């Protein structure tokens, strides 16, 4: 999943649920002005979690495509022991 796909999903979520988007925005603004240390900590945590999720999706998609390639080539590791 690319960054643009992620941004598009966040934008579509906010368009589908405008009340929730406004509430989250107001909470973030409140935290920015009242407790900036907590605000930046939450932003940093969200960025780290997004990065971890991106790496997990990237690794799993490569593994899935490799598995599909092996299936197309006819390589079945569990069938080699039977022959």
Question: pLDDT tens across 29-53, in order?
Answer: 999 999 999 999 999 999 999 889 8
Q: Of residues 56 and 83, which shows the higher confidence score?
A: 56
Its pTM stands at 0.60
- Dihedral sign, Cα of residue 9, residue 10, residue 11, residue 16: positive
Helix axes 36-73, 18-34, angle to 10 degrees: 130
Domain edges within the chain = 3-73
- Residues of the chain with pLDDT > 70, as a percent, come to 75
């Amino acid at each position: 999943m690319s960054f643009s796909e992620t941004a598009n999903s966040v934008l579509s979520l906010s368009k589908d649920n405008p009340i929730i988007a406004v509430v989250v925005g107001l909470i973030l603004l409140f935290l920015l002005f009242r407790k900036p240390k907590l605000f930046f900590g939450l932003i940093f945590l969200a960025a780290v979690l997004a990065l971890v999720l991106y790496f997990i999706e990237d690794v799993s998609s490569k593994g899935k495509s490799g598995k599909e390639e092996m299936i197309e080539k006819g390589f079945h590791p569990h069938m080699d022991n039977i022959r």
